[in-house]
Structure 1
Amino acid sequence: MSNFRKVPRTEWQPRPLHLQAGAGEWPHAADLYVGRQVTAVRLQSDVTQAELARAVGVSPQQLQKYENGKNRISASMLFEIATFLGVPVGRFFQGLPGNATQKGELAALPVDERITFLASSEGRRLIEGVMRLHPRTRRRVSALIAALG
């Protein structure tokens, strides 16, 4: 006869990684970073959210969630995004802490509050409103903002 007590399976199974102590942070910093890099590359490529969303087969709202780190981007979706934007998938991870870059790789695009603002709904509304202005009026608005700042 065995000296071991019968342990229900749920007691001895390890907890999934996302439920372990210290791993429950959501959204994860890596998801935020990758989403911001997608935004940066998209803006650098002069592609709108609507254009990219249509190209990869998701709604603009879903793409916005990817870019804001609210939803994780699957490997296949990241591949589709990278392919459309003409960059390697690894481009979105460059500069991520703990992800050492190899010699000859491109440096990560700077991600700062300006890009975060441009990716926000407020930033998009502002840009869309300014773009509807006559070029001469836009220059005057720009000068006014510079004078206020």
Structure 2
Amino acid sequence: MEDRKALLKPQRSVLLRTGPKPKIESDPHPADQHVGRQIATVRVQSDVSQAQLARSIGISFQQLQKYENARNRVSASMLYEIATSLDVPVSRFFDGLPGNDETCIEARPLPVDERLDFIASAEGRRLIEGLVHLPPRVRGRVSSLIAALGEELALLDTKADSETPGESPPAECRTF
């Protein structure tokens, strides 16, 4: 009878996990990164600031930043709130995610607008924050300066492409 009780009673070593513990991943999962980038992209396309979106869904803008940078995972209910606030379907955040399209064997990458990626980046957000704090007249001048620099660089690139090897650049392009 005691042998029978011993068989029915689980041993402590069976109940406790033995062996190595599962490794905690330090890098975010690619799907979390994709969803975070999509949240940032849709937010920027909707012309909504992080603070505005965070306020509308009842979280801090720091928490929203963590979602967008995939430092924190977004729950299904929070993703639903974000989608509702931005007036897009929840599926929009999964567009372009490899393996998401059942009709397509090979996933096609979404066309990327470099400007949106830059605006969604930390550097882009810092630049925008700095510009927002400038007086409107100064912002206009900064914008004109950036446009002029872009035109000059494009002109220099065109001249460099048209030069033949061994030919010296025009005098206005030479530096001494």
TM-score (norm 1): 0.74
Please state how far the C-alpha of 1:100 moved relative to its aligned partner: 0.9
Q: Unmatched 5+ residue regions in structure 2?
A: 155-176
Correspondence 1:122 to 2:127: no
RMSD: 3.2
Q: Supply the distance in 1 between the matched residues of 2:110 and 2:84 (Cα, whole angstroms).
A: 18
Aligned to 1:144: 149
Q: Supply the distance in 2 between the matched residues of 1:40 and 1:102 (Cα, whole angstroms).
A: 25
Larger relative CO (CA 8 A, sep 6+): 1 or 2?
1
Percentage of identical aligned residues: 53
Matches within 5 A, 1:28-107: 28-100=29-101
SS of 1:8's equivalent in the other structure is helix
- Bigger CA drift: 114-123 or 24-33? 114-123
Please state how far the C-alpha of 1:123 moved relative to its aligned partner: 1.4
Please state how far the C-alpha of 1:26 moved relative to its aligned partner: 2.6
Amino acid at match of 1:65: K
Q: Deviations over 1:60-113 (max 9, x none)?
A: 11101100111101111100100000001111011101111669xxx9854566
Verify the 8 A CA contact 2:37 2:69 in the aligned structure 1: yes
Q: Which has the larger radius of gyration?
A: 2
Distance change (3 Å), C-alpha of 1:55 and 1:109:
farther
Query: When the two structures are aligned, how many residues end up with a matched partner?
Result: 139
Aligned to 2:15: 9
Amino acid at match of 2:140: P
TM-score (norm 2): 0.64
